Amino acid sequence: MAHRVCPWWLGYFLAHPWRKRYQHPIEILKPHIKPGMIVTDIGSGMGFFSIEMARMVGDEGRVICVDLQPRMLNSLVKRARKAGVNNRIEERLCSETTLGLDDLKESVDFVLTFAVAHEVPDQKQLFSELFSILKPGGTLLLAEPTGHIPEAEFQVTLEAACESGLIKISEPEIRKSHTAVLKKELQG
């Protein structure tokens, strides 16, 4: 598996409004996000999904945006301010070895990992950390690009997610993506 990180400058291309023609954030996220939720966007980049997530969670919700690249997060903050949702967004710089979200243990309702898992060298570690921050009953949407991630590689990623304790509950159709919705079971 390749573990090359998307260059920061490509973030402008990925956040461009034309992308909504084939991957509209509201359509993708609507089944998963409700007002007041705490949600996390892993590999948020410049905020293509994060901005809409912030609108969807409303004033009582929160979006934790995690990225490895400071330039991506700096651009996200500017875009969030311009969109009037910066008070709902918390940006966090992660490292190559950890997301640094230990303080969120079992407090997150929904996690988005869109076109990012293939960039992570230790996917078992990634999904272990994500499992730990999800509330019991919380969900994770995993999506990987079909353009450069073969189905077999996506299945390896999905297995890593399931080994963390997450359970696959569906495979929504998202254009140009391999997908799975996973859930952390309720305890008891």
Name the pTM for this structure. 0.88
112 - beta bridge partners?
A: 41, 141
- 65: nearest Cα among 33, 38, 96: 38
Tens of pLDDT, residue by residue over 119-156, are 899 999 999 999 999 999 999 999 999 988 999 999 99
Phi and psi of 124, rounded to 5°?
Answer: -60, -45
For tokens 């979006």, what's the residue? 63
Query: Considering the domain 24-183 in this protein, what is its CATH number?
Result: 3.40.50.150
- Helices of type H across the chain: 10-14, 25-29, 50-57, 70-83, 123-133, 151-163
Tens of pLDDT, residue by residue over 150-185, are 999 999 999 999 999 999 999 999 988 999 999 999
As a dihedral over the C-alpha atoms of residue 31, residue 185, residue 144, residue 110, rounded to 10 degrees, the angle is: 50
